[in-house]
């Protein structure tokens, strides 16, 4: 635990320097380790920040078992914070109604996301966090320090992307938000070290994260390889994690079938509106028949909120 003692000391030092801190939480092992790191850093620090937020983004199309796992962990960390008397507040963020998946897909006719048109990540995941950080800036006059659990060893693509963002050591700038700093305390750790740390802190704080290990076991058959994606994700051909979950939770099978139908819609050019511009023809949004078909079918497997439904109908009327 010497390596983690050093990491906790670094984060403890940051809690003395920054009055406001936001730690991101995805529900996986890395963000769980980050939350424990922050909790222990605050326990060591004599001079605590005014406010600390542990934030989780619910895209509103999260696989139910993954959402439940994240919520259980957040409840544990909120309880530990209260026991410690630390200023941590857990917060669940959601996309603005106009940015939600069904509103854009069915209401505006955006085709299901693809590598060439990946409209989902920004609206569902990134914007809610940016909006929250801007809100803090408006209220207190400065951006909070953002702590993230990203690691280089999560994959070659992640390491390549991080190498472009890291300024020095473990520091980065928050993309698109000037003067907002990001610190990645776990950047150079491997999977085994993260799990060892989580287990060690479970014993120290007398809590159980068995629900976390269980979701890894159910989705990937081991302690690694767990993907925390939306169940509607069409950026991959197969969602193997969701399929694994469905082996034990059969109520997820309709979601898998619906997701497959979204893939076929994405690749069906006959379901798109032809747009003429500058003498050239382009593929535009999904046509109304395709949107209506998705609308009626999704209601059989998923609940669309009244607000989302209202916005969908508004976009249809405008069309």
Asked if pLDDT for residue 73 goes beyond 90, the answer is yes
Q: 82-95 pLDDT, tens per residue?
A: 998 888 999 999 99
Question: Average pLDDT of 133-144?
Answer: 97
- Percent of all residues in the chain with a pLDDT value above 70, rounded to a whole number: 94
pLDDT in tens, 222-256: 666 666 689 999 998 888 889 999 998 999 999 99
Strand partners, 92: 56
Range list for CATH 3.40.50.620 in the chain? 2-96+122-205
pLDDT score at 1 = 57
Per-residue pLDDT band at 276 (split at 50, 70, 90): confident
Q: How confident is the model at residue 137 (pLDDT cuts 50, 70, 90)?
A: very high
pLDDT at 122 exceeding the cut of 80: yes
Which pairs from 81-85 meet CB under 8 Å and 24+ separation?
81/39, 84/39, 84/42, 84/43
Domain 2-96+122-205 class in CATH: alpha beta
Mean pLDDT of 143-162: 81
Question: What per-residue confidence (pLDDT) applies to 45?
Answer: 83
Give the pTM: 0.93
Chain CA centroid to CA 77, Å: 18
Taking 80 as the threshold, does the pLDDT of residue 294 lie above it?
yes
- Alpha helices by DSSP H, listed for the chain, are 2-17, 29-44, 64-84, 101-102, 120-121, 127-140, 156-165, 191-205, 210-220, 240-248, 253-266, 288-298, 306-318
Mean pLDDT confidence for 252-279: 91
Q: What is the overall mean pLDDT for the chain?
A: 92
Burial code (b: 16+ CB inside 10 Å, e: under 16) for 244-257 equals bbbeeeeebeebbe
Check if the beta carbon of residue 133 is closer than 8 Å to that of residue 174: yes
Tens digits of per-residue pLDDT, 167-201?
778 999 998 898 999 999 999 999 999 999 999 99
The whole-number pLDDT of residue 153 equals: 78
pLDDT of residue 139: 96
Instruction: Look at strands 145-147 and 181-183 and give their pairing.
Output: parallel
**Residue 157: per-residue pLDDT:** 66
What is the Cα–Cα distance from 112 to 121, expressed in whole angstroms? 12
What is the model's pLDDT at position 168? 75
């Amino acid at each position: 635990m010497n390596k983690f003692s050093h990491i906790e000391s670094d984060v403890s030092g940051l809690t003395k320097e920054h009055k406001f801190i936001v730690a991101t939480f995805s529900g996986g092992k890395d963000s769980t380790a980050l939350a424990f790191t922050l909790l222990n850093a605050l326990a060591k620090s004599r001079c605590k920040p005014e406010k600390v937020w542990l934030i989780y983004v619910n895209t509103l199309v999260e696989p139910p078992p993954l959402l439940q796992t994240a919520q259980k962990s957040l409840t544990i960390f909120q309880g530990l914070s209260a026991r410690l008397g630390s200023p941590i507040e857990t917060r669940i963020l959601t996309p603005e109604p106009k940015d939600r998946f069904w509103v854009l897909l069915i209401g505006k006719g955006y085709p299901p996301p693809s590598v060439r048109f990946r409209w989902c990540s920004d609206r569902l995941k990134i914007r809610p966090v940016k909006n929250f950080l801007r809100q803090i800036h408006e209220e207190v006059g400065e951006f909070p320090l953002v702590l993230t659990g990203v690691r280089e060893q999560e994959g070659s693509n992640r390491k390549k992307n991080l190498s472009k963002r890291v300024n020095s050591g473990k520091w980065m700038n928050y993309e698109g938000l000037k003067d907002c700093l990001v610190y990645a305390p776990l950047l150079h750790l491997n999977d085994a070290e993260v799990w060892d740390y989580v287990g060690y802190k479970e014993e120290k704080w007398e809590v159980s994260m068995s629900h976390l290990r269980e979701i890894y076991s159910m989705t990937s058959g081991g302690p690694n390889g767990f993907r925390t994606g939306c169940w509607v994700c069409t950026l991959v051909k197969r969602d193997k994690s969701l399929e694994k979950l469905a082996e034990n939770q059969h109520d997820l099978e309709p979601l898998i079938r619906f997701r497959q139908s979204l893939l076929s819609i994405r690749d069906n050019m006959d379901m798109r509106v032809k747009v003429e511009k500058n003498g050239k023809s382009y593929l535009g949004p999904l046509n109304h028949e395709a949107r209506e078909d998705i609308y009626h079918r999704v209601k059989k497997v998923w609940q669309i909120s009244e607000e989302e439904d209202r916005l969908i109908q508004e976009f249809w009327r405008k069309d």
